[in-house]
Structure 1
Amino acid sequence: MCRVFPIKLKGPARVWFTKLAPSTVATFKELSGHFVTHFIGGQRYKRSSASLLNIKQWEDESLRSYMNHFNKEALLIDETDDKVLVTTFTNRLQPGEFFFSIYKNNLKMMADMLYKATKYMNAEDAMIAQGGRPKKRERQDDPLLDKGRKFARSRN
């Protein structure tokens, strides 16, 4: 098996194999152990669902951009729970019509969320194509909210 093993190797694995000192490997088990030990560092590990908390929709970011970013990160997570996906997605979403719709319709499944988001993204794209812009979120003049923002900025 040790003689057949290098035939299938390509790229960095073949280079690694050719650099092995002669007569240093006695069994196939030993060879496979060396191989795994050398290449385990290149293995991509799945992330935890806590990494979704780092994603948020920025004030000027489109729903489509936020969805793409969120979905890419969600795919890197091992064994995600639907409730966690929905919660993290909605908690980091900018307030607006879509945000209101999620809570109004009590969406609890990520598939429903994606379906609803697709409808909103298509409407947003149609408005832009016709020369219009989606409504910007109105700023609420709340002195406590402003004080909280200033405090959060000063801590960062």
Structure 2
Amino acid sequence: MEVYDRSKDPLEQLETFKAHMTLHSFSGEIVCRAFPLTLKGVARTWFGSLLPWTIGSFDELARLFMTQFMSSRKRRRPATYLLTVKQRDGKSLKSYLSLFNKECMTIDDQDEKITLAVLLGGMWPRNPFMARIAQRTPTTLREFMDQADGFINAKDTLEILTTSRRSEMERWSKWIKKRLDKKEVTAVKGEKGTARPKEKGRSPSSAAHWTPGSLEFGSRRESRTEPIKGARPRQGGPPVLRGPYD
């Protein structure tokens, strides 16, 4: 167990010590000799200042101990203090219950029905859990905590699934955007770097040198002697080649 140095509640320290001694069934004399081992600092100095052979039993030692360190006791609050504990807008049900239970530990003379009424009254009116409470109003704290625990677990599970799905959709969106950006960049580069292919062996001025019966490309002249399909034959002579201006 922890040693006492006046920074904690002396009653809590004393009750913890008694529980340990009772568990091991120690006699009163051993309990009195073991008690100083749980003190340090100011508390150990106080015990050393006690006159020898002045303590007849552990109950007397416990009374002197509580009288000396009464100022270090934690002040217990009245039950009406729980009326100030409210669930704020935007706060989860889980955080509200944790705060309420923490404050209940500082309250004296707790009544279950009063505690349940205060607990329900302190909830945020727009809390989704209120709809479930309206369907089946709990009559005991245990019933309320069971319903609240089921609601919190379901909400946590839904948040995990929603977060996982949202993360997956974000990854897909990034992947698709990356692919589209890559295709757009490739298309832009293709438009800038692609030139119109030129025809082999033909210059823009070749049409001006074309004459019937021949094809002229610059200084090169090629005669066509093979008959062209669809050419009209001349009577008594070879077929006539018609140009585009005939």
Distance 2:120 2:35 in 1: 47
Tell me which residue corresponds to 1:82: 112
What is the CA distance between 1:7 and its match in structure 2? 5.9
What is the CA distance between 1:5 and its match in structure 2? 5.0
Per-residue Cα deviation, 1:84-129 (whole angstroms, up to 9, x for no partner): 1111111110123211221321212111100000011111111221
Specify whether residues 103 and 81 from structure 1 end up closer, same or farther in structure 2 by C-alpha distance, changes over 3 A only: farther
Specify whether residues 8 and 26 from structure 1 end up closer, same or farther in structure 2 by C-alpha distance, changes over 3 A only: closer
Does 2:45 match 1:11? Answer: no
Distance 1:7 1:112 in 2: 44
Deviation >4 Å, runs of 4+: 4-7
Does 2:154 match 1:127? Answer: no
- TM-score when normalising by structure 1: 0.67
| Runs of 5+ consecutive residues of structure 1 not aligned to the other structure | 133-156
User: Match of 1:27, as an amino acid?
Assistant: T
Tell me which residue corresponds to 2:129: 98
Tell me which residue corresponds to 2:90: 60
Distance 1:119 1:103 in 2: 16
Distance 1:34 1:79 in 2: 26
What is the CA distance between 1:79 and its match in structure 2? 3.0
Specify whether residues 122 and 28 from structure 1 end up closer, same or farther in structure 2 by C-alpha distance, changes over 3 A only: same
Distance 2:83 2:67 in 1: 33
Specify whether residues 124 and 7 from structure 1 end up closer, same or farther in structure 2 by C-alpha distance, changes over 3 A only: closer
SS at 2:162's partner residue? coil
After TM superposition, the structure 1 stretch with the greater mean CA deviation from structure 2, 36-45 or 105-114, is 36-45
Tell me which residue corresponds to 2:55: 28
Tell me which residue corresponds to 2:193: none
Tell me which residue corresponds to 1:38: 68
Specify whether residues 107 and 5 from structure 1 end up closer, same or farther in structure 2 by C-alpha distance, changes over 3 A only: closer
Distance 1:89 1:7 in 2: 43
After TM superposition, the structure 1 stretch with the greater mean CA deviation from structure 2, 118-127 or 4-13, is 4-13
Question: Percent same amino acid at aligned positions?
Answer: 26
Q: Which has the higher helix share?
A: 1
Tell me which residue corresponds to 1:51: 81
| Runs of 5+ consecutive residues of structure 2 not aligned to the other structure | 1-27, 164-246
Query: Could you tell me whether the CA contact under 8 Å between 1:6 and 1:14 is conserved in 2?
Result: no
Higher relative contact order (CA 8 A, sep 6+): 1
Query: Could you tell me whether the CA contact under 8 Å between 1:64 and 1:121 is conserved in 2?
Result: yes
Larger of the two Rg values belongs to structure: 2
Distance 1:53 1:122 in 2: 27
- TM-score when normalising by structure 2: 0.45
